[in-house]
């Protein structure tokens, strides 16, 4: 039985810490260049070194993205990028371009290489050849079914890792290869700058009939016909394992630290629960419910069970958001929980406390106290310190959230 890796995203140091604290076996992140996400803060060299050192101290791997399709003028900068990755001791580089693959082998012969989903791997022949070229892992295209993944696993070397996205945003185009953003707003999706025009509302008008509107839109706001739902496979960990998947990849380097915290924790708990009884896997409802407590679009299973018939979301392009983070635990001493505020809330509110690998704990915070120990009615100042009484002990970094009304 292969060991399933939970692979979490990190757009900056805060998100990286969330991923490591909440159970990631590996984290993937990017730098200022060559990464498919330009909107997050990403990591400079010093931050990368700190992240790798922290991760390795906790037996967590770090994979660095260089999966854009670079132009000629970027190639001279790639040697330094690779050599700094070696110096920082990252565990692998994620690459989509065959030319960059060859340069990695030249500049860093011992570096582990993962082939990005941007490469569009959909068959065992391609996976074999990339393995023969030096790849340790292939990140398969999102458009594959479990049966197709199983065939790739059966017809490739057992030393080749298979990684697939299991949670997060899906692209209307094939594995993210899209020119729509570049065409409309001159932001190249293949260089990490996608403006997500697939999430916009559209109307259809035939050019010779300017006053005739065709019934392709859902309401007066237009149609979101390009807008896909989010992927969620947390209830199917057993099927992913049976298909031979090595690594379960969570999308979201541009998402919040809270998103990384909750989703990473949920998938880690789901994997742990799977290993308790692999042949009778039934996910507890409370673990499944965790992925609904982050900002998300409606969920679907992507292409894993064949061509999805209900993978598009036509109502709007917005997210569903039912919970807000109101505080984070700093320490617990002598029956008192010390916290830092994140959003306003009040004494008497019912909240949930989420600690790594634990079922959320619901509490009514009957009384709140400021730093001097004075009772207060509300925690309404950004990043203010406060406390409450509890016989329960929570680790540093425990998230306190409140359901929105």
118: nearest Cα among 100, 83, 82, 94: 94
Q: What is the pLDDT of residue 204?
A: 66
Q: What is the pLDDT of residue 189?
A: 65
Q: What is the pLDDT of residue 320?
A: 79
Is 302 exposed, middle or buried, given 0-12, 13-18 or 19+ CB atoms closer than 10 A? buried
Cα-based distances in Å from 255 to 10, 42, 204, 363, 391:
9, 12, 32, 27, 34
Judge contact between 108 and 86, C-beta under 8 A. Answer: yes
Binned at pLDDT 50, 70 and 90, residue 308 comes out as confident
Residue 299 has pLDDT above 80, yes or no: yes
- The answer on 62 and 12 residing in a single domain is yes
pLDDT digits over 8-26, tens only? Answer: 999 999 999 999 999 999 9
Query: Which percentage of the chain shows pLDDT scores above 70?
Result: 83
Is 309 exposed, middle or buried, given 0-12, 13-18 or 19+ CB atoms closer than 10 A? exposed
- The answer on 367 and 249 residing in a single domain is no
Let me know how long the chain is.
405
Domain boundary residue, one of 300, 332, 347: 300
CA dist 163 and 244 (Å) reads 9
- The answer on 164 and 35 residing in a single domain is yes
Residue 245 has pLDDT above 90, yes or no: yes
Residue tagged 């993944």 (tokens): 149
Q: Which domain holds residue 125?
A: 5-169+232-300
Cα-based distances in Å from 341 to 70, 90, 356, 388:
42, 34, 19, 12
Q: What is the pLDDT of residue 313?
A: 61
Q: What is the pLDDT of residue 306?
A: 85
Q: What are phi and psi of 308, to 5 degrees?
A: -75, 130
CA dist 139 and 130 (Å) reads 11
Residue 181 lies in a domain: no
Residue 298 has pLDDT above 90, yes or no: no
Q: What is the pLDDT of residue 236?
A: 97
- Angle, helices 78-88 vs 45-57, to 10°: value is 30
User: Rounded mean pLDDT of 37-49?
Assistant: 83
- The answer on 236 and 110 residing in a single domain is yes
Residue 105 has pLDDT above 90, yes or no: yes
- The answer on 244 and 157 residing in a single domain is yes
- The answer on 255 and 159 residing in a single domain is yes
Number of domains the chain is built from: 2
Write out the two tokens for 118.
């941007």
DSSP 236: G
Of 44-48, 65-69, 217-221, 360-364, the range with the lowest mean pLDDT is: 217-221
- The answer on 328 and 241 residing in a single domain is no
Judge contact between 18 and 260, C-beta under 8 A. Answer: yes
Binned at pLDDT 50, 70 and 90, residue 368 comes out as very high
Binned at pLDDT 50, 70 and 90, residue 1 comes out as low
User: Rounded mean pLDDT of 283-306?
Assistant: 92
Residue 182 lies in a domain: no
- The answer on 279 and 364 residing in a single domain is no
CATH label of the domain that carries residue 69: 3.20.20.70
User: Rounded mean pLDDT of 279-302?
Assistant: 93
Q: What is the pLDDT of residue 199?
A: 63
- The answer on 367 and 242 residing in a single domain is no
Q: What is the pLDDT of residue 61?
A: 98
Q: What is the pLDDT of residue 182?
A: 66
Output 271 or 225, whichever has higher pLDDT.
Answer: 271
Q: What is the dihedral of CA 35, 36, 39, 43, to 10 degrees?
A: -30
Q: How far apart are the first and last CA of the chain?
A: 44
Residue 189 lies in a domain: no
CATH label of the domain that carries residue 334: 2.40.30.10
Output 69 or 390, whichever has higher pLDDT.
Answer: 390
Residue 16 lies in a domain: yes
- The answer on 391 and 285 residing in a single domain is no
Residue 279 lies in a domain: yes
Q: What is the pLDDT of residue 315?
A: 60
- The answer on 285 and 356 residing in a single domain is no
How far is Cα of residue 56 from the mean position of the Cα atoms in its chain?
20
Output 177 or 56, whichever has higher pLDDT.
Answer: 56
Judge contact between 375 and 369, C-beta under 8 A. Answer: yes
Residue 396 lies in a domain: yes
> How confident is the prediction for the chain on average, in pLDDT?
89
pTM of the model: 0.87
Q: What is the pLDDT of residue 202?
A: 65
pLDDT digits over 373-404, tens only? Answer: 999 999 999 999 999 999 999 999 999 999 98
Q: What is the pLDDT of residue 40?
A: 60
Residue 264 lies in a domain: yes
Residue 200 lies in a domain: no
- The answer on 150 and 253 residing in a single domain is yes
**Three-state SS at 380:** coil
**Three-state SS at 54:** helix
Q: What is the pLDDT of residue 185?
A: 74
């Amino acid at each position: 039985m292969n060991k399933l890796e939970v692979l979490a995203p990190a757009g900056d140091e805060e998100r990286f810490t969330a991923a490591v604290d909440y159970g990631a076996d590996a984290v993937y992140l990017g730098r200022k260049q060559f990464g498919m996400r330009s909107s997050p803060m990403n990591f400079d060299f010093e931050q990368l070194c700190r992240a790798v050192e922290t991760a390795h101290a906790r037996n967590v791997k770090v994979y660095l993205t260089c999966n854009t399709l670079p132009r000629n003028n970027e190639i001279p900068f790639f040697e330094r990028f690779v050599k700094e990755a070696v110096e920082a001791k990252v565990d692998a580089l994620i690459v989509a371009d065959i030319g960059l693959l060859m340069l990695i082998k030249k500049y860093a012969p011992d570096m582990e290489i993962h082939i990005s989903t941007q490469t569009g791997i959909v068959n065992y022949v391609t996976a074999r050849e990339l393995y023969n070229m030096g790849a340790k892992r292939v990140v398969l295209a999102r458009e594959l079914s479990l049966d197709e993944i199983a065939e790739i696993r059966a017809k490739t070397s057992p030393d080749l890792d298979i990684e697939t996205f299991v949670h997060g945003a899906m692209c209307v185009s094939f594995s993210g290869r899209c020119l729509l953003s570049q065409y409309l707003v001159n932001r190249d999706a293949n260089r990490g700058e996608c403006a997500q025009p697939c999430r916009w509302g559209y109307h259809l008008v035939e050019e010779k009939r300017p006053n005739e509107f065709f019934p392709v839109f859902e309401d007066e706001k237009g149609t979101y016909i390009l807008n896909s739902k989010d992927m969620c496979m947390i209830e199917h960990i057993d099927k992913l394992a049976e298909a031979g998947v090595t690594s379960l990849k969570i999308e979201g380097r541009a998402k919040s630290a809270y998103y990384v915290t909750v989703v990473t924790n949920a998938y880690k708990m789901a994997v742990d629960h799977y290993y308790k009884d692999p042949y009778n896997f039934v996910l507890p409802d409370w673990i499944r419910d965790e992925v609904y407590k982050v900002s998300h679009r409606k969920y679907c299973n992507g292409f894993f069970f064949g061509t999805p018939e209900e993978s598009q979301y036509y109502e709007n392009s917005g997210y569903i958001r039912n919970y807000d983070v109101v505080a984070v635990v700093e320490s617990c001493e002598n029956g008192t929980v010390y916290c830092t505020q994140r959003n306003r809330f009040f004494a008497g509110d019912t909240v949930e406390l989420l600690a790594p690998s634990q079922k959320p704990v619901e509490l009514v915070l009957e009384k709140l106290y400021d730093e001097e120990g004075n009772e207060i009615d509300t925690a309404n100042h950004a990043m203010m310190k406060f406390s409450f009484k509890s016989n329960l002990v929570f680790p540093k970094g425990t998230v306190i959230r409140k359901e929105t009304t």
